[in-house]
């Protein structure tokens, strides 16, 4: 695959109501991979395991919002943050 599949196309392929015949399973596998990656971002992970930065992208700039209130997700990549650790 030379170009990355658009998110909208992956969502269409993964829709249970969508019916389409494919020449190969490579497009379905790519859509599944994109869906898997998106779901992993929804699983809260601790920012403390790698020194107080996002466990997904490594950024420490986007973990807090206004008035230093902890964000529920990294503002850079969308990783859900688990603050209880």
Contacts of 3 (CB under 8 A, 6+ apart): none
The C-alpha atoms of residue 57 and residue 49 are separated, in whole angstroms, by: 13
How many angstroms separate the CA atoms of 13 and 70, rounded? 35
Contacts with 40 (C-beta within 8 Å, 6 or more apart), sequence order: none
Q: What is the pLDDT of residues 57-82, one digit of tens each?
A: 999 999 999 998 999 999 999 999 99
Report d(CA 9, CA 22) in Å as an integer: 14
pLDDT 10s digits, 31-48: 999 999 999 999 999 998
Whole-model pTM? 0.79
What are the backbone dihedrals phi and psi of residue 42, each rounded to the nearest 5 degrees, phi first? Answer: -80, -15
């Amino acid at each position: 695959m030379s170009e990355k599949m658009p998110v909208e196309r992956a969502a269409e392929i993964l829709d249970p109501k969508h019916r389409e015949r494919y020449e190969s399973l490579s497009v379905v596998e790519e859509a599944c991979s994109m869906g898997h990656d998106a779901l992993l971002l929804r699983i809260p992970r601790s920012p403390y395991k790698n020194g107080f930065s996002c466990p997904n992208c490594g950024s420490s700039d986007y973990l807090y919002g206004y008035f230093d209130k902890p964000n529920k997700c990294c503002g850079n990549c969308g990783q859900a943050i688990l603050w209880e650790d």
